[in-house]
Amino acid sequence: MAASDIDTVCWNVRGLNSAKRCLAVHEMIASTSCHITCLQETKLQSLDSTLARFLGAYRLNQFTYKPAHGTKGGILALWNDNALDLQNIQIGRYSITATLTMCYSAASFVLTTIYGPSRRVEKENFLQHLRQIKPAPGTKWIVMGDFNIIYKARDKNNRNLNLRLTRRFRVALDYCELNEIHLQN
């Protein structure tokens, strides 16, 4: 596996609190060759290794998670420890951040998976959180997830657009020196 050959799945699953949804996640992951999967909006307050291994199609054999608050939120990261090593795992208010090292090349970077708040009153706190978790200058950083906020008006699927919040998100992205990686598949 070369540094550019890390296969990743990032998915807002909108709840893993039903057997049918868990099976769908298991089958999708099993159909891929991904090395790491980051799931947002799990809606799970707790998670054991049996469920994590099942969701990871028994290939993604390690996990860490941020519990949901009631039925809101929740983040799960699953990875294959034969391909990747995650260290320095930090669970934040809206994120999981870890240093990821690829076993075959020793290349490393910081990976953050995000689940931003859906409530408008929490969005400023979320943007502050994003700024605070920015790694030291010169550190390679990938952020993925569901920000629950947009930075381009054309991404909005209705006319209910808060331009002030859109601008504030762009400012936070610029501060963090983040660029969009366009969706694939």
Compute the distance between CA of residue 116 and CA of residue 129 in angstroms, rounded to an integer: 10
- Is 39 strand, coil or helix? strand
Compute the distance between CA of residue 26 and CA of residue 75 in angstroms, rounded to an integer: 16
Give the pLDDT confidence score for residue 181 in this predicted structure.
81
The greatest distance separating any two alpha carbons of the chain, rounded to the nearest whole angstrom, comes to: 47
Residue with tokens 């608050």: 69
| Span 101-117, pLDDT tens digits | 999 898 999 999 999 99
pLDDT at 1 over 60: no
Give the CATH number of domain 8-175. 3.60.10.10
Give the pLDDT confidence score for residue 2 in this predicted structure.
45
Compute the distance between CA of residue 148 and CA of residue 95 in angstroms, rounded to an integer: 13
pLDDT at 45 over 50: yes
| Cα-Cα-Cα-Cα dihedral sign, residues 159, 14, 65, 33 | negative
Give the pLDDT confidence score for residue 141 in this predicted structure.
97
Compute the distance between CA of residue 29 and CA of residue 37 in angstroms, rounded to an integer: 8
Domain extent listing, the chain = 8-175
DSSP 149: -
Torsion on CA atoms 161, 71, 11, 175, rounded to nearest 10: 50
Tokens at residue 160, please? 């209910």
pLDDT at 157 over 80: no
Give the amino acid at 56.
G
| Span 134-155, pLDDT tens digits | 999 999 999 999 999 987 766 6
3-class SS string, 97-124? EEEEEECCCCCEEEEEEEECCCCHHHHH
